[in-house]
Amino acid sequence: MIENEISSRIAVAGRDIAVRAVPGRAPGVLWLGGFKSDMTGTKAEHLARWAAARGSAYVRFDYSGHGASSGRFEDGTISQWLEDTLAVFERATTGPQILVGSSMGGWMALLLARALAARGDGRLKALVLIAPAPDFTEALMWDRFPPPVREQIERTGRFLKPSLYGEDPYVITKELIEDGRRHLLLGAPFAVGCPVRIQQGAVDEDVPWAHAMRLVSCLAEDDVVFALVKDGDHRLSRPEDLERLTAALEEFA
């Protein structure tokens, strides 16, 4: 853990969400991790050190079924993880916030921003998104699954999707796919009401750069800057990628 970082837990609908917070000045930074990742990854740790060094508030957490939080990963849905995100935003952060969302965390950041804008909550200062994957359950999974995989999901309720990173396969459930359809964003323009900065790898095999460009076209009313890293992969966690990330934050922090 980072010096002065405080660990806590938040109860959300019977789930126990693990949270770590570095106290500091506003605007704070809220880290939103990716699908089956946890808050001890390279980018999350880098941001914790960056925030501590400059005296900025920083919060990171694990969705239910991820990392140190309770629950099974395969029981999770987009609705459930969004509920976790909203609870952490409301109970663990104060004042203006910059959301940093990686992959699925980008989808969470966009859904959170849209919900806050709809109720007139002006706490968001900016969104910094790394290989954002809105609608991934439909556009990057279901639409690309061959017929035998779709049939297996319909018949058995699950599919073991191999990981590109040598980890255990991802359990993709029928409930995850069907619930994801309740939160699709890319079909029409929408506004989040704050600046958006997107960093995307050109050789990303999980979230192709064209998918992130669909998001840019939907954010027609917002201040959006899209940066394509020519040799970048999905994780964008090399030292030079981390420098780009904190440089994007410095624009607002």
Query: DSSP string covering 129-147, please?
Result: EES--TTIIIIIIGGGS-H
What's the pLDDT at 49? 96
Spot the catalytic one: 64, 206, 234, 237.
234
**CB 141 within 8 Å of CB 104:** no
Question: Smallest Cα–Cα separation from 250: which of 41, 89, 105, 54?
Answer: 54
In a domain, 160, yes or no: no
CA 52 to chain centre: 21
CATH number at residue 87: 3.40.50.1820
Spot the catalytic one: 37, 69, 103, 237.
103
In a domain, 126, yes or no: yes
In a domain, 179, yes or no: no
Does the annotation count 204 as an active-site position?
yes
In a domain, 111, yes or no: yes
**Which residues span the domain enclosing 92?**
6-134+191-250
Does the annotation count 103 as an active-site position?
yes
In a domain, 49, yes or no: yes
Q: Which stretches does DSSP call E strand in 54-157?
A: 56-61, 97-102, 124-130
In a domain, 233, yes or no: yes
Residues 51-66 have a mean pLDDT of 97
Residues 158-178 have a mean pLDDT of 88
The DSSP code for 188 is S
Amino acid at 62: D
Neighbours of 150 (CB within 10 A): 15
Q: Which stretches does DSSP call E strand in 108-213?
A: 124-130, 158-161, 170-173, 196-201
Residues 55-84 have a mean pLDDT of 98
The pTM of the full predicted model, rounded to 2 decimals, is 0.96
In a domain, 84, yes or no: yes
Number of independent structural domains in the chain: 1
Spot the catalytic one: 62, 204, 206, 241.
204
In a domain, 139, yes or no: no
